[in-house]
Structure 1
């Protein structure tokens, strides 16, 4: 925190925000922290930092799902022909093991954030974070489980869960 104050004293807003987001990543920062960081990033027109802060806010609310993703080659059936953007914009379908009444995989949408921020090319492997649109359905996942990414049929990638941590559910009383 002293580093952030020093940068603020020198009017180096970007460096101060970088220090704060690193602290938020290192410790379990809550949603108000990430909201304020996102507002600061927006005010400085730092789009990628703002997207990261919104991503981390989502994780603070719904949990963290990290995985090691191996994409199939572009020439393989189901293979992507373009890289996956690293900044959480892509929303592919995922087979997390649920089955429909008809017996086919029940697929769910989750955004992908590539760790390190660079794009992931067809055939490559990389560490990713997933933000499910229906996080409650993902709560049963644990480290070591394998899930499958679909852009279309067949499988476009296979991911092994490396971390799945979720906040405690709120207790309601009647």
Structure 2
């Protein structure tokens, strides 16, 4: 499919009642598509996807359209949202330890590259912490500096291990045996 077809297909999966923060709707997307404003239409559809939970096919179509438009950050975001639909998502307020107190001395790429381990309260048969892996996307920032704080989106590698995670839970991020940061869970959306 070409970009126009992909964006049109995605627009049909978005509810007509959904609106962006600026009250733009699917009808506005169709207007942009009619005038071959594909990047604008893609951006609006991404925003509409933030307003309501949309199916995997929606995000897959947007990811392919973004790739055809050579928009790597947008493509990465849409692929990330596909992973959220498949595995669920945990949003958390994360504070990294300063470089002077932790092993990390460089910023974390915000575009879902890092897949750290998390102490979410699970235990091994011997009672030791059982760390669980989740990919991490930093919201509204291209990177997160050591000592920095941001809202992050976590996609669990094994969602079953995360079913007990609820808002308010304090979790600890690890890149090695030492704690790299702590986070408080803001919200949880299960797979599907």
TM-score of the pair, normalised by structure 2: 0.83
In 1, distance between residues paired with 2:28 and 2:153? 28
Equivalent pair of 2:137/2:152 in contact (CA under 8 Å): yes
Cα distance per residue 1:45-74 (max 9 Å; x no partner): 111111111111121222221000010010
Partner of 1:51: 76
Identify the match of residue 66 of structure 1 among 59, 82, 91.
91
Partner of 2:134: 110
Cα distance per residue 1:98-148 (max 9 Å; x no partner): 111233211111111000132110001110000111111111100000110
Q: Could you say what the CA RMSD is over the residues aligned between the two structures, in angstroms?
A: 1.3
Equivalent pair of 1:73/1:79 in contact (CA under 8 Å): no
Pairing 1:1-174 to 2, within 5 Å after superposition: 1-76=26-101, 78-167=102-191
Equivalent residue pairs, number:
167
Equivalent pair of 1:71/1:79 in contact (CA under 8 Å): no
Cα distance per residue 1:19-65 (max 9 Å; x no partner): 11111111111101111111101111111111111111121222221
TM-score of the pair, normalised by structure 1: 0.91
In 1, distance between residues paired with 2:157 and 2:133? 6
Q: Mark the runs of 5 or more structure 1 residues left unpaired by the alignment.
A: 169-174
Equivalent pair of 2:63/2:76 in contact (CA under 8 Å): yes
Give the deviation of 1:79 after TM superposition. 3.9
Q: Mark the runs of 5 or more structure 2 residues left unpaired by the alignment.
A: 1-25
In 2, distance between residues paired with 1:59 and 1:131? 6
Equivalent pair of 1:79/1:122 in contact (CA under 8 Å): no
Equivalent pair of 2:84/2:191 in contact (CA under 8 Å): no
Partner of 1:171: none
SS at match of 2:146: coil
Give the deviation of 1:5 after TM superposition. 1.4
